[in-house]
Amino acid sequence: MKQNGKIKDFLLWTVLAIVLGLIVSFAFLPLLGVDPVDSLKIMLTETFSDKFTMGNILIKTTPLILTSLAFAFTYKANLYNIGAQGQFYVGCICAVATTLALQTKLPGVVVLLLAFAASILGGGLTGLLIGFLKAKFNANEFLVSMMSTYVVQYVMQLLLRTALQEPKHEYLKTAYIDNSAWLPKIIPGTSVSLGIVIALAAAIFIWFILYHTSLGYRVRVTGLNQDAARMSGISPKKMCMTAFFISGAIAGLAGFTEINGMQHMLLTGFESDIGSYGIGIAIMASANPIGVIFAALLFGTLQVGGTALGHSTDAPASVIDVMLGFVMLFVLMSFFVRRKLEIRKLKHQKLQKGEA
Amino acid sequence: MSEAVIELKHITKRFAKVLANDDVSITVHKGEVVALLGENGAGKSTIMKILYGLYHATSGEIWIDGKEHKIASPKEAMALGISMIQQHFSLVPAHTVTENIILGNCKGRVDIKAKEKEIEALAKQYGFDVPAGEYIKNLSVGTQQKVEILKALYLNARILIMDEPTAVLTPQEIDTLMAFVKNYVSKGNSVVFITHKMKEVMQVSDTIVVMRNGKICGTVKREDTNEKELAHMMIGHDLETLQAPGGDDPEKKKKRLIVEDLTIQKKDSAPVLDHINLTVHEGEILGIAGVSDNGQQELCEALYGAETPTQGKILLDGRDITATSVKDRITMGMGYTASDRYRYGMVAEMSLAENMLLKASYLKNWVSHGIINWKKLRQYTERQIKEYKIKAPDCNVTAGSLSGGNQQKVVVAREVDMGKSLVIFDQPTRGLDLGAINYVHKTILGEKNSGKSVILVSTELSEIFALSDRIAVMYKGRIMGIYKNGELTTEKIGLLMAGYQPDKEEEA
């Protein structure tokens, strides 16, 4: 009963915050000489008019679910993995390299499975390295993970100029991967691939790990009370490395869904925002793996809608970021307002009890 | 006696629910050392923090030099010549001695060299060997304390309040400090010395004020008193009737835990545990008495595997477990309720069921193949809630939402079940109401009767006397002696707790 009321409360507040965020961001449009009412109409009709664009929402959502899961998992251990972008790139490199090396030599399914495993392992090991530095030398994981993205980015540039460059050596990209190694499309008339299913499964998997396994339990205990963890035979250092490995693996998995499911090649500057969006989404969902799905879906929708807005009106493309920024700001503010109100209510109840 | 410098009149201080000081009146004269003696939590620090302007009295007056003053902040206290050396120093480790001393008391361009000379001269005047240009982080704790004192002297303090100044010092450093105190008061200044150690009190003070439970229970001149009387005053008169241990003699039973020569000594500091030897038998409660922070927590943690001993051996049922981890010791059937349960014993944000799982995440009780059986765990938790009469609506509420007593019941319920062979209770009833205390005591006795070995650490002597078969007294990381319950009188145990061997003339 009580739980239900809480969820209802939460949904109401969040929807209200999203609407407010949109209103405020649309209020900026007249400054750019764009009619906000018209743009809203365009945005809605363009986004939800045809199947293909609606499919795009799911395509955008897929990697966002994964990178925000990556942040959410370490967040539960009271650690900060700011480097999901880098781990995603490592996943991309592993997936594309495995696929290019083995495609046509092995059956497509096997290539896909190997690319899947390679991306997870690559991302995971990158994460593990950060976790190891934290556990062993007490390096600041925030900084190390953040900077690791840059290192990976330049390694990727290097590989795109050398070993992985397309045969003609003209552009900074790899060759297209063979059709046989593409993730199958699941909705006809769209480009939506199995990737979205993988992302959803990953969210459920992470939820299961966190709340139904002793490993996830230990991660959460470490995150909430490190001293109690130590006193219970749980090694916070081991938990740090484990959490970072899993986090990195999930971010790496996004590399697989994007390469084999969507882009079918790797190019420089590929999906360069999903790491930072992931952080925002995870925070918006209070790091709840199931909540992440919906928050990512919201971001995906806004991205598609914002792109449509950029195409069809005079508004610049950066309008998307303004919109996302405002929506996030309002959702976060709604948390604080809600908590303040709750505390006030509790205090009120206590006072009444005291007087009675 | 010369004129009074400080008169605290009928000061009462209330924190939310706790009465920390209750009608406390203290007078400090010129050239006098006043020792404020009492157990931890007696309200000694509170009354001095009120004088120093850190706390504000709920009621009462402060008179200085015969005039009433309202002291709102340490700054105002310092302006009146009052300085306080806190238990935890307030120095900047990355700055030099001089920089620390002049901090907040210099303007514009500073001639560091001149200041350094000035401070060195000041130090020499009091016989302190303090390098004025050295960085704080390179100094020993004793020297850091001297810097704190110099800071006060630099501001021309004439009343120095020292909160447990000897707690962190070596015996030699204590001697220097005592010499300084004598020298300082001979110049017409005054010192208030907060301590729970009787030896120092007898060594240095003129007047002794004994506090208990926030009240003053005696003000005496040093010449008119002795350690015995002070111990009596400090601990209280209500512990005369001692309960003899009941049942058969546990010492004839099998030895369960043997601790040999256990020592923890960090580099370049006094040992926290000093060659501890003890034995606990099956079905026996070994009480460990002592003023808090005399190594009890370290002993418990070393026994539980959370602290690594630098020397010595721990044997459980004949097996050497010195090198094993906390995880191993939980598996072997050890339970431990830490004195700071909030920090070490529970996760406030997690549900009661999740808290029950805390020590068992590696065991098979509710986990199989790494997957938690929530249904079983919830059923178990509900049963424990009923059995221990924990006031909670169900097992899904967070531990943090319960009252302190009920939180402790949760921890005790869990640890008693975890500790199949040995349960260590560190201050199990601290902060609990009488009903909860009674329940915990009954549980402890029940565990003993079921054949478990129990170690009970407590600063409450009544608790130790009521439950233990044998009593060990700890002082500064040492066991002062292990006695059968009934062999010790309150006076004797009080002296042992203060570091005196009552049978011998000199301290052992």
Residue B242 near residue B464 (C-beta atoms within 8 A) = no
Residue B24 near residue B215 (C-beta atoms within 8 A) = yes
B232: which 2 tokens? 């009596």
Q: CB neighbours of B398 closer than 8 A, spacing ≥ 6?
A: B348, B349, B350, B351, B352
pLDDT digits (tens, 9 = 90+) for B174-212: 888 888 899 899 988 999 988 877 777 888 889 999 888
Closest partner residue to B345 among A212, A224, A228, by Cβ? A228
Neighbours of A153 (CB within 10 A): 16
- Percent of chain A whose pLDDT exceeds 70: 96
Band (pLDDT 50/70/90 cuts) for residue A353 is low
Asked if A213 and A351 sit in the same domain, the reply is no
User: For A215, which residue in chain B has the nearest alpha carbon?
Assistant: B370
Asked if A332 and A307 sit in the same domain, the reply is no
With a cut of 50, say whether residue B357 has pLDDT above it. yes
* Mean pLDDT to the nearest integer, B262-284: 89
Output the furthest CA–CA distance in chain B (Å, rounded). 78
Q: Is residue A90 part of a domain?
A: yes
Asked if A280 and A345 sit in the same domain, the reply is no
* Mean pLDDT to the nearest integer, B235-261: 65
Q: Is residue A13 part of a domain?
A: no
Residue A77 near residue A229 (C-beta atoms within 8 A) = no
Q: CB neighbours of B505 closer than 8 A, spacing ≥ 6?
A: none
- pLDDT at res. A336: 84
User: For B338, which residue in chain A has the nearest alpha carbon?
Assistant: A231
- pLDDT at res. A71: 96
Q: How many domains does chain A have?
A: 2
Distance CA B29, CA B37 (A): 17
More confident residue, B229 or B172: B229
Assigned CATH topology for domain B250-497: Rossmann fold (3.40.50)
Q: What is the mean pLDDT of chain A?
A: 90
* Domain boundary assignment for chain B: 4-235, 250-497
Asked if A233 and A330 sit in the same domain, the reply is no
A303: which 2 tokens? 């991205």
Asked if A232 and A334 sit in the same domain, the reply is no
- pLDDT at res. B239: 38
With a cut of 50, say whether residue B259 has pLDDT above it. yes
Asked if A172 and A243 sit in the same domain, the reply is yes
Band (pLDDT 50/70/90 cuts) for residue A174 is very high
**Binary contact (A221, B370; C-beta < 8 A):** no
More confident residue, B506 or B307: B307
CB contact A221 to B (< 8 Å): yes
Distance CA A277, CA B66 (A): 67
> Strands B470-475 and B371-372, how do they pair?
unpaired
Band (pLDDT 50/70/90 cuts) for residue B248 is low
Q: Is residue A63 part of a domain?
A: yes
**Binary contact (A213, B372; C-beta < 8 A):** yes
List the alpha helices (DSSP H) in chain A.
Answer: 2-27, 36-49, 51-76, 84-102, 108-137, 141-161, 195-212, 214-224, 226-230, 236-258, 274-284, 289-312, 319-355
Assigned CATH topology for domain B4-235: Rossmann fold (3.40.50)
Please give the single-letter amino acid code of residue B487: E
Asked if A263 and A352 sit in the same domain, the reply is no
Distance CA B283, CA B225 (A): 42
Q: What is the mean pLDDT of chain B?
A: 85
Please give the single-letter amino acid code of residue B415: E
With a cut of 90, say whether residue A331 has pLDDT above it. no
Asked if A144 and A48 sit in the same domain, the reply is yes
pLDDT digits (tens, 9 = 90+) for A285-322: 889 999 999 999 999 998 888 888 888 877 777 778 88
Band (pLDDT 50/70/90 cuts) for residue A62 is very high
Closest-CA residue to B364 (of B326, B393, B339, B330): B330
Q: Is residue A28 part of a domain?
A: no
Asked if A252 and A309 sit in the same domain, the reply is yes
Do the two domains B4-235 and B250-497 of this chain adopt the same fold? Answer: yes
Please give the single-letter amino acid code of residue B174: I
With a cut of 90, say whether residue B372 has pLDDT above it. yes
Residue B485 near residue B465 (C-beta atoms within 8 A) = yes
Three-class DSSP category at B315: strand
More confident residue, B304 or A335: B304
Which of these ranges, A239-248, B44-53, B107-116, has the smallest mean pLDDT? Answer: B107-116
Instruction: Label residues B316-349 b or e (16+ Cβ within 10 Å = b).
Output: bbeeebbeeebbebbbbebbbbbbebbebbbbbe
With a cut of 50, say whether residue B243 has pLDDT above it. no
With a cut of 50, say whether residue B505 has pLDDT above it. no
Asked if A333 and A257 sit in the same domain, the reply is no
| CA distance to A71, A72, A226, A270, B362, per residue, from A321 (Å) | 20, 22, 37, 17, 46
Helices (H) and strands (E) in chain B, counts: 16, 22
Please give the single-letter amino acid code of residue B325: S
- CA angle, A225 then A229 then A230, to 5°: 120
Closest partner residue to A228 among B325, B358, B362, by Cβ? B358
**Binary contact (A221, B361; C-beta < 8 A):** yes
Closest partner residue to A233 among B348, B362, B367, by Cβ? B362
Note the ipTM here.
0.85
Which of these ranges, A40-49, A311-320, B74-83, B189-198, has the smallest mean pLDDT? Answer: A311-320
Three-class DSSP category at A178: coil
Count CB pairs under 8 A between chains A and B. Answer: 64
- CA angle, B303 then B316 then B318, to 5°: 145
* A214 chain-B contacts, CB cut-off 8 A: 361-362, 367, 370-372
* B362 chain-A contacts, CB cut-off 8 A: 214, 233
**Binary contact (A232, B367; C-beta < 8 A):** no
What CATH code is carried by the domain that includes residue A236? 1.10.3470
With a cut of 90, say whether residue A3 has pLDDT above it. no
| CA distance to B35, B77, B159, B160, per residue, from B81 (Å) | 19, 7, 6, 8
pLDDT digits (tens, 9 = 90+) for A137-146: 999 999 999 9
Asked if A335 and A228 sit in the same domain, the reply is no
- Percent of chain B whose pLDDT exceeds 70: 92
Closest partner residue to A212 among B326, B329, B372, by Cβ? B372
Q: What domain range includes position A344?
A: 320-356
Strand partners, B474: B479
The reply to whether the predicted model has a pTM over 0.90 is: no
Strand partners, B35: B193, B208
Distance CA B131, CA B123 (A): 9
The label of the residue with tokens 């001993």 reads B309
Select the residue from B297, B350, B366 to test the A interface by mutation, using most A Cβ atoms within 10 A: B350
Instruction: Label residues B75-101 b or e (16+ Cβ within 10 Å = b).
Output: eebbebbbbbbbeebebeeeebbbbbb
**Binary contact (A231, B371; C-beta < 8 A):** no
Distance CA A99, CA A102 (A): 5
